[in-house]
Structure 1
Amino acid sequence: MRTGRAPPDSVACGREDPMQTDHLARSKKFIKLLRPDMAGAAAQTAITWLKPALKIADHGKPIAQPALTPATLGRLGPLEVRLAQKKQDIKRAQKLRYRVFYKDGTAIADAATLLARRDKDAFDRICDHLLVLDHAAKPSLSGKQPVVGTYRLLRQEIANRHGGFYTENEFDIGGMIARHPRLRFLELGRSCVLPPYRNKRTVELLWHGIWSYVRQHGVDVMIGCASFDGTDPARLALPLSFLHHYASAPEPWRARAHPSRYVEMNRMPKEAVNQKAALRELPPLIKGYLRLGATIGEGAVIDHQFGTTDVLIIMPVSAISSRYIEHFGVDATRHAA
């Protein structure tokens, strides 16, 4: 989730049973289509599970394990996932985001962003920042290991003290949150990974970090925006219609794009949607969220600054497939440091 971007019998939050188990998005046929062998290599990039990684570099020599700190959430070979601890750590995440979103992507930088060469906004100072470091890569001139992936995390209690979630700029989520007053929400946003690291190892470690964070803070629901490249919804008619017909959030979790920004997702009749073709057009991140158990809000939003079409992701922890929770461990021990 750029704003980048864990069934009830698996991990019970002890508060509510929020999902309707007969919803189309959870049907056996739908889940089968989302399997990697059906959806192709792109899905495996999004969410795919590994055998235990050997702590050996490509050239066969052992990799020195990174020194661990309380901020470390896990590691996989030379890669470490951790939380930013200092302002300098956040700046490194912002530099990575600038490179991915602006330098290599389609985002349009204003003068201040061009000068700073960092993607930054007012939310950065109140968010936690998840970083993936590569301890096998050459250190920077400052002696720091490079940041190769990042996610921005904003807990509800912090958002409430500072004017709300970033997602509220695009979607009216207030009613949804109000319907679940006993649940704790977490916003996922500003996710990005350097191209050479867009593989199952890095993605798995990022998700391990998120799951560790979710368990540590008692999070019940994850939300945020996920993006399609491009600002012409007509060219995205197939995947948007697929999400509308097969992955819409059930009524208790329904949230809409703000009226002034609302873009219709129902652009094709259900019988005209080729599900396999639509899945091939879904970005890996959205496909990964669906495989975990996420559903989609009503309406899309055009983000002209970033050159994207955004949809709302809604993912209660209680809806996450039990096999993924078993993979990471209920207590997030899969790749624990």
Structure 2
Amino acid sequence: MTIEIAEAEVAAEALASACQASLSKGTDVLGRIGPLETRVARTDAEIDAAQAIRYRVFVQEMGAQVPPDAMRRGRDIDAWDLVCDHLLVLDTSIEGDADEQVVATYRLLRQDVARHAGGFYSQTEFDLEPLLARHPGKRFMELGRSCVLPQYRTKRTMELLWQGAWAYALKHRVDAMFGCASFAGSVPEEHALALSFLHQNALAGGDWAVAAHAEQYRTMDLMPSEAVNARKALSAMPPLIKGYLRLGAMIGDGAVVDHAFRTTDVLIVLPIESISGRYLNYYGADAGRFAS
């Protein structure tokens, strides 16, 4: 089941009204479950906290390589941080400033902002220009740098990250979302089963087709279809990629090895009109499921 474009526009109108009501009450919280809440970072200190979490997960846990200055500061930082909005999940039960409460983050970059800032991060790995050119009237948003502290890797945290991203997308009338998602390790063949399943069953086509840059392209179609067991392939996938598939996402053609982060990246493509009706019903077409 998919949502039609007209329904998406109605949902956007509903959220715009809800956002105005929230602003009139003086709150910018996009969702709340128990002591956890999600919203966009308000201060430089909160952005710094998000970068610190990214450093702990990407560098200390996953072994990513970052520039010497970032190593010295203990932060994962790049030029896109200056122009992106930083979606946060905060644990309000922790005493202290809000920057000490940040337990998860997502980086959001709208097309209108990217246009004036030199493009999207994903463009360093995937050729987005043909995709964007085929949809001149649509608003795109990039999702990236998804990161959750180990002790908060729970269903409710992931629900709040998606709640926040969904509410943000509706507020800004986004028509499609995309972004890099990663498999651990820089050897695609180690993920042959999952990558082959994605290529054979979720490849973006037609107007949504997009591919890795030719010089970085690594084939995902590594196994014959008769050898690909769907259940085993799904269980071998990172939770984030599996979650995107459940929402109704498609996958770009080709993987890219990010040697600095020691990951194998694929491109997620998620038109709003393709989001599974099951999830629209769960979160609410107006993102009201966990709204404060």
Which residue of structure 2 aligns with residue 227 of structure 1?
182
CA deviations over 1:127-183 (Å, ceiling 9, x no partner): 0000111011243xx575421000000000000011110000000011011101111
Determine helix, strand or coil for the equivalent of 1:129: strand
Alignment of 1:188-337 (within 5 A): 188-337=143-292
- 1:173 equivalent in alignment to 2:141: no
CA deviations over 1:245-277 (Å, ceiling 9, x no partner): 011012211111001100011111111211111
**Separation in 2, partners of 1:88, 1:134:** 16
Q: 1:76–1:205: 8 Å Cα contact kept in structure 2?
A: yes
Question: For structure 1, which runs of at least 5 residues remain unmatched after alignment?
Answer: 1-6, 15-67
1:106, distance to aligned residue in structure 2 (A): 2.0
Determine helix, strand or coil for the equivalent of 2:194: helix
**Separation in 1, partners of 2:118, 2:30:** 29
Which residue of structure 2 aligns with residue 182 of structure 1?
137
CA deviations over 1:211-247 (Å, ceiling 9, x no partner): 1101100001000000000111111111111111011
- 1:88 equivalent in alignment to 2:45: yes
Q: Which amino acid aligns with 1:304?
A: H
Give the 3 Å change call, closer, same or farther, for CA 247–176 of structure 1 in structure 2: same
**Separation in 1, partners of 2:98, 2:218:** 46
**Separation in 2, partners of 1:292, 1:138:** 35
Which residue of structure 2 aligns with residue 118 of structure 1?
75
Question: For structure 2, which runs of at least 5 residues remain unmatched after alignment?
Answer: 10-24
Counterpart pick for 1:97 among 32, 50, 54: 54
Determine helix, strand or coil for the equivalent of 1:158: helix
Which residue of structure 2 aligns with residue 12 of structure 1?
7
Q: 1:71–1:85: 8 Å Cα contact kept in structure 2?
A: no
- Percent identity, aligned pairs only, is 52
Counterpart pick for 1:76 among 26, 33, 40: 33
Larger RCO (CA under 8 A, 6+ residues apart) = 1
**Separation in 2, partners of 1:241, 1:109:** 30
TM-score by length of 2: 0.91
Q: 2:89–2:104: 8 Å Cα contact kept in structure 1?
A: yes
Alignment of 1:7-156 (within 5 A): 7-9=2-4, 12-13=7-8, 70-139=27-96, 144-156=99-111
Q: 1:11–1:330: 8 Å Cα contact kept in structure 2?
A: no
Count of matched residue positions in the alignment of Structure 1 and Structure 2:
276
**Separation in 2, partners of 1:143, 1:246:** 42
**Which structure: greater helix fraction?**
2
**Separation in 2, partners of 1:159, 1:321:** 27
Measured on the aligned residues, the alpha-carbon RMSD in Å equals 1.5
Determine helix, strand or coil for the equivalent of 1:260: coil
1:210, distance to aligned residue in structure 2 (A): 0.7
**Separation in 1, partners of 2:129, 2:5:** 28
TM-score by length of 1: 0.79
**Separation in 1, partners of 2:37, 2:98:** 16
Determine helix, strand or coil for the equivalent of 2:30: strand
Q: 2:90–2:98: 8 Å Cα contact kept in structure 1?
A: no
Which residue of structure 1 aligns with residue 115 of structure 2?
160
**Separation in 1, partners of 2:99, 2:237:** 35
Q: 2:49–2:100: 8 Å Cα contact kept in structure 1?
A: no
